[in-house]
Structure 1
Amino acid sequence: MSQAINDDELRPTQTEGFKVGEKKTLDEYNQLDANDESLQRWKALLGIAPNAAAATGPKLVIHSLSMESSSAPGGKVSIKLDGSQDELEALKKNPLIVKEGVDYNIAISFSVGSDVLSGLKYLHVVKRTGVTVDKLEEMIGSYGPRPEPYTKRFITEEAPSGMLARSGTNVVRTRIIDDDGTVYTDFTWSFKLAKDWA
């Protein structure tokens, strides 16, 4: 059976009646209602300082994806995502080893280098032996440029357990997309369930 995860499986849920707001540049946000205190607080939450200089760099860089669990050595197992194309290709062939039955959170570390990114969503589909076994869709939110990376943690899930769960490799396709449908990253990785962390 094919382990390929097609684009249709990674389409975000649409909220009926929701209309995406007009995108603005950092300069446009800086010019918005300088006398509006609540807007100033909102802009500060996004990291938009008054009269901030234009940010540079890629709009979004994903540094790592982690499966965090209190039982994991060091609290998590991670994959590095800001490496070379060869390193990204190796993710498909070298699965993470995850202990069966544990509670865990998916967490991503990322940087925003230019512009305010709004309505970011995290999506992933997990297949084992060609059958979809999990789908996660989580709102990441809106973020402004800053030098330090952000970390976003998602809901706590429980890893399956038992001989059947341990019997194959789980192939995961992950995508980060915004309200406009712009795809910022799309990659495939894998993990295996085992009796203990490796």
Structure 2
Amino acid sequence: MPEHEDELSTSKTEGFKVGEKKTIEEYKNLDQNDESLNRWKASLGLNTGEPIGDPNDPRTCIIQSLAIETPGKPDITLDLTGPNALESLKDKPFTIKEGSKFFTKVVFQVHRDVLSGLKYVHVVKRKGITVTKDEEMLGSYAPNTTDKPTYEKRFHEEEAPSGMLARGHYTVRSRFVDDDGHIHLEFTWSFDIAKEWAH
């Protein structure tokens, strides 16, 4: 088993049991007279628009991009869909100014099936030593439709470390995984902490 397998494992909620998987049709027909359930289904978007997505694409969840948002600066966006996009990320670090505050934002699509309990987890390393591990619950989502072609989730605010010891090169292993333990995407990228933003 690869060394990084365990470091990206997600936490388990005590006493939480993953429910029985249902198809979209089963969800739509579930207790049609239950008002609160109908509101929940509507909040998932189960009653609107035409489904989108390539029927020949087996993926349920397609992570399109990961972006770093900093107030007053253009977003730094990692395209995760282009040809060889993932392979080149590690070798193309971007710069974050030390001490700056930023948000990470993900844009993704869900196809064909309800996606239950999507989580994002990453491990940040510097010179091979783990600096931090973070986990974000993105939630559950119905398949995207023409009314809502993508989902966007913004994570909690973070602050880049500062000081001479914090400056340097960092690598990140990221994973998107659901309640069933299905890994939708895993990739490695990198960034540099510097005194100033790159021009």
Using the size of structure 1 for normalisation, the TM-score is 0.90
Aligned 1:4-153 pairs, distance under 5 A: 6-49=4-47, 56-57=53-54, 58-72=59-73, 74=74, 76-84=75-83, 86-147=84-145, 148-153=149-154
Contact 1:128–1:171 (CA<8 Å) still a contact in 2?
Answer: yes
In 2, distance between residues paired with 1:7 and 1:152? 25
Aligned-pair distance for 1:71? 3.8
Off by >3 Å, runs of 4+ in structure 1? 52-58
In 2, distance between residues paired with 1:188 and 1:122? 13
- 3-state SS of paired residue (1:24): coil
- The one-letter code matched in structure 1 to 2:7 is E
Contact 2:118–2:138 (CA<8 Å) still a contact in 1?
Answer: yes
Q: Paired residue for 1:186?
A: 186
Contact 2:94–2:192 (CA<8 Å) still a contact in 1?
Answer: yes
Q: Paired residue for 1:163?
A: 164
Q: Percent identity?
A: 52
Using the size of structure 2 for normalisation, the TM-score is 0.89
- Cα offsets for 1:10-50 (capped at 9, x unmatched): 00011222111111111111110111111111011111017
Contact 1:27–1:54 (CA<8 Å) still a contact in 2?
Answer: no
Stretches of structure 2 that go unaligned for 5 or more consecutive residues are none
Question: What's the RMSD between the two structures over aligned residues?
Answer: 1.7
How many residues end up aligned between the 2 structures? 190
Contact 2:51–2:143 (CA<8 Å) still a contact in 1?
Answer: no
